[in-house]
Amino acid sequence: MSWYLILSAILFGLGVAGFIYRRNVITVFMSIELMLNAVNLTFITFSYTLKKVDGHIFSFFVMVVAAAEAAVGLAIILTVFKNRETLMIDDISSMKY
């Protein structure tokens, strides 16, 4: 069981590393999804250990929120790209153009 938690920690750490290291907005966004997935794995693991289904439901809600977040986030990325013609976060550092 602790192996699953360690795998989850590794995936979360990789997500944080990608979030900080990458400069493409879409890849940064995908790193966030990786972190959400790692948290889901922790929920499912504890659900298995405690023999309760509640963790699965939390993980289901995380998926729903991730879907909503992906829709809105990608719409924001589309709008930013339409206005500035770039996806690199170094070029989008100011909020007002």
Report the amino acid identity of residue 90.
D
C-beta of 5: minimal distance to other proteins in Å? 5
Distance CA 76, CA 33 (A): 16
3-state SS of 16-77 is HHHHHHCCEHHHHHHHHHHHHHHHHHHHHHHHHHHCCCHHHHHHHHHHHHHHHHHHHHHHHH
21 near other proteins (CB under 8 A): yes
C-beta of 53: minimal distance to other proteins in Å? 5
51 near other proteins (CB under 8 A): yes
61 near other proteins (CB under 8 A): yes
State the residue for tokens 């309760």.
Answer: 52
Note the residue count of the chain: 97
C-beta of 2: minimal distance to other proteins in Å? 5
State the residues that interact with other proteins by CB under 8 A.
1-7, 9-11, 13-18, 20-24, 26-27, 29-31, 33-34, 37, 40-41, 44-45, 47-49, 51-54, 56-57, 59-61, 63-72, 74-79, 81-83, 87-88, 90
